[in-house]
């Protein structure tokens, strides 16, 4: 059964993004992929196996990625050409065994957390990300076989919000996020510092070459039931009623997962690949995204009301400090709401298209394939084709041991509807009694009605 689903996953991936001629023609090599069970890393591993390469894959000791690792083990060729190694970003020497004997290294491992506080940001996000780059490159410097390193960076290393260089500026590989110290967002600081550090260390030697990939927000189909992976938690909330009925018109940059994986492999095998590569199929507003999702999935609880700016600011200030609403859903900071509000970034990805031969998958197709995979893995329920209700999805319920309660904005709306119905029934009954009653009873009932108002 596992082998069957492995073939299905591989065929589905190659149907969405067939191998580029440069990928097919490259001779088989041994490749180390860090963060191999992550959202991007797992797709890179699958693509390398499809190309015929052997993979040394690293993962954390924690077992929260077991489903993805099992899905990769089931892929065609994995039994002969995929080996797993444990590695820790903060532990020196942790990557030595995985890098040994490899010709290429693709570094996808890192800490992705947009909800961690600034106070905890350095220890939990910045330090592990930067130290991970340092420890990996130390291992590479000790391994004579390595010829090229491909690093997963981010558009966060290009700009935090695409407003810092003035109206009309088109962002490209030439831009660096120099506003990161003012915004003080740990994830952005980590991405900028890690890529800077990698380029600085690469410049100190001339044996291996560095290429960096800078994607925007990455979306795409899953290979396994991994509800905490990548963008799954935030996009699931767009569909299950958690943020219904409001959505803020915040800007995002989007690219397909298979385009990102292909960019990594092409940058690895093509001798002419050099420098940085920015990846962004388009910039869109979350209100646009919600509109597309409503068209594709009319039975789900996709928000339909654009949140007014003043209400977004008020709502964000009321969110608890541990609320898990990572941007672009609803930031907790007035600064981020202000700079991302109705912001469509101008980004030039022509270098990747020209030099790597990439043709990006349209974002609307990416959304459909992504959500279909959430449904097929049971992360989102499969809805009936016909329903008397415009959204047939059962509303979210509270956890075990607590009274059942609805989540997010759905809770407020549903509770208010129930309250209105209850009060309306009481008013109707008391009004009837007031009309047909006599004397003091009627006066007392009218007083009660005034209180209800």
| 13-54 pLDDT tens trace | 999 999 999 999 999 999 999 999 999 999 999 999 999 999
DSSP H or E segment with residue 436: helix 408-436
Q: State pLDDT tens for residues 161-172.
A: 898 888 899 999
DSSP label of 323:
-
* pLDDT for the residue 418: 53
Residue 90 CB neighbour total at 10 angstroms: 10
For range 175-198, the mean pLDDT: 88
- The pLDDT-based confidence of 187 (bands split at 50, 70, 90) is confident
**Which has the closest alpha carbon to 52: 79, 26, 34?**
26
| 267/264 Cα distance (integer angstroms) | 5
Q: What is the mean pLDDT of the chain?
A: 84
Do the Cβ atoms of 427 and 262 come closer than 8 Å?
no
Who contacts 270 (Cβ-Cβ below 8 Å, separation ≥6)?
Answer: 22, 355, 356
End-to-end CA distance of the chain: 63
Do the Cβ atoms of 268 and 149 come closer than 8 Å?
no
Q: State pLDDT tens for residues 336-391.
A: 788 889 999 999 999 999 999 999 999 999 999 999 999 999 999 888 764 444 44
* pLDDT for the residue 244: 84
Query: Is the predicted pLDDT of residue 394 greater than 60, yes or no?
Result: no
Higher pLDDT, 27 or 449: 27
Among the residue ranges 316-320, 394-398, 426-430, the one predicted with the least confidence is: 394-398
Query: Is the predicted pLDDT of residue 143 greater than 80, yes or no?
Result: yes
Residue for token pair 């093509």: 270
* pLDDT for the residue 439: 44
- The pLDDT-based confidence of 316 (bands split at 50, 70, 90) is confident
* pLDDT for the residue 319: 57
Rg (C-alpha) for the chain, rounded Å, is 26
* pLDDT for the residue 60: 86
Who contacts 71 (Cβ-Cβ below 8 Å, separation ≥6)?
Answer: 5, 6, 9, 42, 223, 224
Higher pLDDT, 48 or 238: 48
For range 116-130, the mean pLDDT: 83
Among the residue ranges 80-84, 297-301, 379-383, the one predicted with the least confidence is: 379-383
DSSP label of 115:
S
* pLDDT for the residue 262: 98
For range 207-235, the mean pLDDT: 94
Query: Is the predicted pLDDT of residue 431 greater than 60, yes or no?
Result: no
* pLDDT for the residue 111: 86
* pLDDT for the residue 448: 38
Do the Cβ atoms of 252 and 284 come closer than 8 Å?
yes
Query: Is the predicted pLDDT of residue 152 greater than 50, yes or no?
Result: yes
Distances (CA, A) of 387 to 364, 390, 391, 392, 445: 25, 7, 8, 6, 42
* pLDDT for the residue 445: 38
For range 195-222, the mean pLDDT: 97
Range picked from 59-68, 233-242, 309-318, 440-449 for highest mean pLDDT: 233-242
| 231/218 Cα distance (integer angstroms) | 7
Among the residue ranges 209-213, 329-333, 412-416, the one predicted with the least confidence is: 412-416
Q: Report whether the peptide linkage leading into residue 208 is cis, meaning its omega lies within 30 degrees of zero.
A: no
Do the Cβ atoms of 12 and 37 come closer than 8 Å?
no
DSSP 74-99: TSTTHHHHEEEEE--TTSTTTTHHHH
Among the residue ranges 206-220, 309-323, 383-397, the one predicted with the least confidence is: 383-397
3-class secondary-structure state, position 322: coil
Q: Report whether the peptide linkage leading into residue 30 is cis, meaning its omega lies within 30 degrees of zero.
A: no
Among the residue ranges 37-41, 133-137, 145-149, 328-332, the one predicted with the least confidence is: 328-332
Higher pLDDT, 409 or 252: 252
3-class secondary-structure state, position 386: coil
* pLDDT for the residue 388: 44
| 16/11 Cα distance (integer angstroms) | 9
- The pLDDT-based confidence of 115 (bands split at 50, 70, 90) is low
| 30/372 Cα distance (integer angstroms) | 33
pTM of the model: 0.83
Query: Is the predicted pLDDT of residue 404 greater than 60, yes or no?
Result: no
Which residues on adjacent β-strands are paired with residue 318?
none
Do the Cβ atoms of 32 and 58 come closer than 8 Å?
yes
């Amino acid at each position: 059964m596992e082998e069957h689903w492995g073939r299905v996953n591989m065929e589905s991936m190659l149907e969405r993004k067939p191998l580029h001629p440069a990928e097919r023609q490259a001779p088989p090599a041994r490749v180390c992929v860090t963060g191999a069970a992550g959202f991007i890393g797992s797709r890179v591993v699958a693509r390398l196996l499809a190309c015929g390469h052997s993979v040394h894959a690293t993962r954390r000791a924690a077992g929260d990625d077991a489903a993805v690792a099992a899905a990769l083990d089931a892929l065609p060729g994995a039994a002969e050409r995929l080996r797993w190694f444990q590695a820790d970003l903060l532990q020196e020497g942790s990557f030595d065994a995985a890098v040994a004997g490899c010709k290429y290294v693709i570094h996808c491992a890192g800490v992705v957390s947009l909800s961690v506080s600034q106070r905890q940001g350095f220890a939990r996000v910045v330090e592990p990300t930067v130290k991970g780059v340092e420890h990996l490159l130390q291992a590479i410097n000790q391994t004579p076989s390595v010829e090229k390193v491909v690093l997963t960076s981010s558009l966060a290393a290009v700009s935090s919000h695409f407003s810092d260089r003035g109206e009309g500026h088109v962002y490209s590989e030439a831009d660096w996020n120099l506003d990161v110290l003012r915004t003080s967002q740990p994830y952005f600081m980590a991405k900028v510092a890690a890529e800077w550090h990698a380029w600085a260390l690469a410049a100190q030697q001339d044996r291996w070459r560095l290429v960096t990939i800078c994607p925007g927000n990455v979306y795409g189909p899953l290979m396994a039931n991994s509800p905490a992976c990548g963008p799954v938690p935030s996009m699931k909330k767009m569909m299950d009623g958690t943020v219904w009925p409001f959505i803020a018109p915040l800007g995002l940059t989007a690219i397909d997962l298979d385009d990102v994986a292909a960019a990594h492999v092409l940058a690895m095998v093509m001798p002419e690949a050099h420098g940085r590569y920015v990846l962004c199929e388009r910039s869109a507003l979350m209100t646009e995204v919600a509109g597309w999702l409503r068209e594709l999935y009319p039975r789900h609880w996709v928000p339909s009301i654009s949140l007014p700016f003043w209400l977004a600011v008020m709502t964000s200030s009321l969110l608890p400090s541990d609320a898990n609403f990572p941007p672009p859903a609803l930031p907790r900071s007035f600064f981020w709401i202000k700079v991302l509000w109705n912001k469509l970034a101008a980004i030039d990805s022509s270098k990747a298209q020209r030099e790597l031969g990439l043709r990006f998958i349209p974002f609307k197709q990416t959304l459909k394939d992504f959500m279909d995979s959430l449904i097929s893995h049971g992360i989102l329920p499969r809805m009936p084709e016909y329903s008397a209700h415009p959204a047939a999805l059962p509303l979210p319920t509270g956890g075990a041991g607590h009274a059942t309660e609805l989540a997010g904005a759905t809770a407020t709306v549903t509770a208010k509807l129930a309250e209105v119905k209850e009060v309306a029934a009481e008013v109707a009954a008391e009004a009837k009694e007031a009309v047909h009653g006599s004397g003091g009873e009627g006066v007392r009932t009218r007083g009660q009605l005034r209180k209800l108002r």
